[in-house]
Structure 1
Amino acid sequence: MLQVTEIVIIGINHKTAHVETREKLAFSESQLERSLAFCRENSGISECAILTTCNRTEIYATGADQQTITQLIMQMLSEVKGIDTDEVRPNLYIHAQEKAVEHLFTVTAGLDSMVLGETQILGQVKDAYAKATEAGTVGSTFHALFRQSVTAAKRVQTETAINQNAASVSYAAVELAKKIFGRLDNRTALILGAGKMSELTLRHLYDQGVKKVIVVNRTKERADKLAACFGGVSEYYEKRRDCLIQADIVISSTGAPHFVLDKEEMASVMRARRGKPIFLIDIAVPRDIDPKINDLENIYLYDIDDLQAVVASNLKDREHEAVKARLIMKEEISEFQIWFKTQEVTPLIAALRRKAESIRKTELEVSLGKRLANLSDKEKKHVENLTKAIVNRILREPVLRIKEFALDENSDLYVASLCQLFDLEEGPNGELQPRLPQEQEEAAGSKAEGAHH
């Protein structure tokens, strides 16, 4: 029988777990490489891609068996992340086949994001796909799936107004600062980290009129480059305490696996500030800022989960556009599903063609060796081309019908019937293959001999 490719996703996001749990499953670059290598080396997984952002971690995989894929991914999480998967399992969601496909399309278009319709996730999905491709864990199914989901997301961006007003986690962070201070043009903002999230946050701060920006990063060169883009200044990581003393707003988004600001350091900073209020926004996962800092007076600390309230105010206008976006998703998902289902019957079509070609060649060789032996080479070529044309014409309608019934819920029954009808059998590697004419004659002879006895 045909081997069906299973598409599985196992994930955790802002809807299913608090940041304390999500950060346990956040992947560093080295962990991502190890995880993809694990999947590449295990035969139970055919393809794999890992999406890891501040709000979600999702592992996409294909293989022959959903249960095997799930077990291997759990094993990978245990080995690479060093966690007890039973502890986080209640927070995980598992989708397969159509639901997995729909989930990826929805995520890529920003329809499952904390900020509905945000566009940053599109770049993150493309990055996950690129890294998986580079690691050699992407095959034909994921090439088609991820490309189609990106196409769908781009259609949503151009054909709807869902992202008309900038709204991402970084934007929400700046909006929260604005609500606290009223105006930002007379405030000093300190950015810890020089990555993509820091750049997006800086862009929003700049749009809101912030004139004094300080960028601190462990790599001073990256801090210089980012600060220069927005007329800000950069500083060495070791001098962050002096920068904290000056700042009104601190937005932290580093890739550190541990806290970069702890309670003891901030207590010292607050003494130097003489108690002047400071606003801290931690949009990193894992978190950059020790939550115990909230115990100190005149410090207002918000982490990524606290941004939900700010995000809510942006949702109303976007919900209307989301209806249009979901219609686009439906069209694009349907297009992928047609392709995917057709791939399931491709081995059947290939086996049918091989069988027809085998019969054509055998019969042609017999005829050219006997009754048509006197034909010239040119005439023999004409006869060969004619037989090829006849076979292609005979197979044309059956092939079209096979592709059509691939979309039917009873497709397995149709496939089994055709295999029986055309005497196609499963090969040693699970692929369909036609019996050769000689094998058929031997099988028929055995049956006849058995009947005589």
Structure 2
Amino acid sequence: MNKFIYLTGLNHRTAEVDIRERYALTNVEDMELGIMSECPVREVMVLSTCNRVELLCVSEHSPESDVDVLGCMRAYWAERCGGQPEELAEHTYNYEGISAVRHLFMVGASLDSLVMGEPQILGQLKDAYRRAVDNNTARVIINRLLHKSFSVAKRVRTETAVASSAVSISFAAVELARKIFGSFQGKTAMLVGAGEMAELAATHLLRNGVERLIIANRTLSRAKALSATLGGEPIPIENLMDRLPEADIVISSTGSPTAVIRAKEMQKVLKRRKHRSMFFIDIAVPRDIDPDVNALDNVYLYDIDDLKEVVEENMAQRQDEAVKARALVDNETSAFEHWLQTLDLQPTIVDLLGKAEDVARKELSKTLRRIGDVDESTREALECLVLSVSHKVLHEPVCYLKRRTREEGVADTVIDTARRFFNLDNDCIPPEAHAERRSRDSCECREDEFGLSNDLNDH
């Protein structure tokens, strides 16, 4: 196979934030087209997020050749960002061949993320793939590789618990609240103060179905600005105790040096609520909520240390599950390596004939069971007949494959389509893995692309 996969990139582990900012890519579409024009590659896809930038490409030049594919991509990348290739090279990682495949599977499955198991990276990877498809820079190999990466990510999510527990302070708070209330339907949340973590926790709550949000802050203009973003109701903090009985969930993160919610005041609040449960998340340091509040009936109070313990415990559980996930990725990487090897025509012909022979023998076995015992010579004659028919039926398809793969630039596409058409890899890609829009080189074949409309005349 004369197609080689390369990947170069930087992330939160290899580069500080100032380097990541300097080499971040905004106009990804132009970047992909520029690499296709300036570098010796046939396919390219660029992934750019706040924590990573990765350039994936397919080239006809092997790592052992005199052509430095990775160096060319890094040089173009540095030039686009006004930087130096030497500086960029100090902060990048580089993968070739099947190592690049495994790395991409790890990224898609969120096993290489800053927060392992977070779901955002998969969506970002899908967006990057769609852009490459629209740009016509993703073709047979990147198409297959990205489809498979989506499938691997789905298997990791469904077959392991690597993403099942909260590993951020804000999300841990939401998960604890869910355990108490079960459902957030009809619930009201209140922010006391407008700190970053409290805002993030409120965002999680709203996404999970909290119906109302009240924002109390010393600076009312800040409460109004945050309300405009989150869709809440701003109130001055002086009205806190009057409005507190409306809240089922309270997230507090003020800069007050003393408690703003005390146990004595809470007794009045609970009486007005008819002792319905309340959940408090105190993210402030020093604490906003008197610890004695937790001793009241139907009140659940968690501070920042409680949440950190939950996060650390969940992170340890994720690390255990990550071992299973990595083993799954390794198996899928081996399967993709096998598929790459089948992009040569001869293995596909062998697999095609072998599948036909297997079907013929199975059907013969069924027939012999129905008609009863036959002598050995008759059985051999019938086997010869069914194998001969299977070979003759495939004669024209095999000749067609040989003709088309001699044409420049279409061999990989034709072979890949044949393997999919006859399901030679016993591989089913989930429908949701496909991009909403497909280029003319997408895995969904079209008549004009492969010449199938002229098939009857192509003898």
> Does structure 2 retain, via aligned residues, the 8 Å contact 1:188–1:212?
no
Instruction: List 4+ stretches of structure 1 deviating above 3 A.
Output: 166-175, 198-201, 204-214, 222-226, 247-250, 273-276, 308-314, 347-350, 386-396, 425-432
Q: How does 1:82-93 map to 2 (within 5 A)?
A: 82-93=82-93
Q: Which amino acid aligns with 2:204?
A: R
Query: CA, structure 1 residues 428+393, in 2 after alignment: closer, same or farther (shift >3 Å)?
Result: closer
- Aligned match of 2:28: 32
Q: Are positions 1:22 and 2:20 aligned together?
A: yes
In structure 2, the residue corresponding to 1:91 is in which secondary structure?
A: coil
Distance 1:12 1:312, change over 3 A: farther
> Quick one: which amino acid aligns to residue 336 of structure 2?
F
The match for 1:50 among 46, 49, 57 is 46
The match for 1:227 is: 230
Distance 1:395 1:186, change over 3 A: closer
1:82 to partner: Cα distance: 0.9
Deviation at 1:72, TM superposition (A): 2.4
**Post-superposition offset of 1:135:** 1.6
| CA deviation map 1:22-47 (0-9, x unaligned) | 2222222xx31221120232461111
Code of the residue aligned with 2:25 in structure 1: it is F
* 1:242-273 CA distance string (max 9 Å, x none): xxxxx9869xxxxxxxxxxxxxxxxxxxxxx9
Shift of 1:100: 0.3
Change (3 A) 1:141 1:274: same
The correspondence for 1:8, drawn from 3, 6, 9, is 6
Q: Find the residue that maps to 1:33 and give its secondary structure.
A: helix
Identity level (%): 29
- 1:17 counterpart SS class: coil
The 8 Å contact of residues 115 and 315 in structure 1, kept in 2 or not, is answered as no
Contact 1:101 1:333 in 2 (8 A): yes
Query: What code does the residue aligned with 2:97 have?
Result: Q
In the alignment, is residue 157 of structure 1 matched against residue 162 of structure 2?
A: no
Aligned-partner Cα distance in 2 for 1:120–1:317: 20
Q: Which runs of 5 or more residues in structure 1 are unaligned?
A: 176-183, 193-197, 215-221, 234-246, 251-272, 277-297, 299-307, 354-385, 400-421, 433-453
Cα distance 1:6–1:49, how it changes in 2: closer, same or farther (>3 A)? Answer: same
TM alignment of 1:129-168, pairs within 5 A: 129-167=129-167
Are residues 168 and 112 of structure 1, via their aligned partners in 2, closer, same or farther at CA, if it must alter by over 3 Å? farther
Q: Following the alignment from structure 1 to structure 2, what is the Cα–Cα distance between the partners of residues 123 and 431?
A: 31
Task: Provide closer, same or farther for how the CA distance between residues 393 and 208 of structure 1 changes in structure 2, counting only shifts above 3 A.
Answer: closer
User: How many angstroms apart in 2 are the aligned matches of 1:60 and 1:325?
Assistant: 23
Task: Give the C-alpha shift of residue 212 in structure 1.
Answer: 4.1
CA distance in 2, matches of 1:227, 1:206: 10
| Partner residue in 2 for 1:189 | 194
Offset of residue 189 of structure 1: 2.5
Task: Look up the equivalent residue of 1:141 and give its one-letter code.
Answer: I
Task: Kindly indicate whether residue 101 of structure 2 is the aligned counterpart of residue 101 of structure 1.
Answer: yes
**Matched residue, 1:64:** 60
Q: 1:311 to 1:144 in 2, by over 3 A?
A: farther
Distance 1:174 1:56, change over 3 A: farther
Q: Deviations over 1:388-447 (max 9, x none)?
A: 955957998xx9xxxxxxxxxxxxxxxxxxxxxx9xx99998989xxxxxxxxxxxxxxx
> Whole-Å Cα distance in 1 between the matches of residues 173 and 408 of structure 2?
58
User: For structure 1, which segment, 31-40 or 143-152, has the greater mean C-alpha deviation from structure 2 after superposition?
Assistant: 31-40
Question: 1:115 maps to what in 2?
Answer: 115
* Cα pair 1:118 1:168 within 8 Å, conserved: no
Q: Distance in 2 between matches of 1:388 and 1:274?
A: 82
How far has the Cα of 1:232 moved from its partner?
Answer: 5.6
CA distance in 2, matches of 1:123, 1:134: 17
SS in 2 for 1:105: helix
Cα separation, 2, equivalents of 1:338 and 1:201: 47
**Change beyond 3 A, Cα 1:27–1:249:** farther
**Are 1:203 and 2:198 matched, yes or no?**
no
The one-letter code matched in structure 2 to 1:334 is S
Q: CA RMSD in A?
A: 4.9
SS at match of 2:342: helix
- In 1: Cα distance, 2:70 partner to 2:342 partner: 25
The CA distance in 2 between the partners of 1:135 and 1:69, in whole Å, is 20
Amino acid at match of 1:22: R
For the residues of structure 2 that align with 1:113 and 1:24, how far apart are their CA atoms? 20
Flag the 1:315–1:166 CA change in 2: closer, same or farther, 3 A: closer
Look up the equivalent residue of 1:119 and give its one-letter code. Answer: P
* Cα distance in 2 between the residues matched to 1:80 and 1:14: 21
Tell me which amino acid in the other structure corresponds to 1:189: A
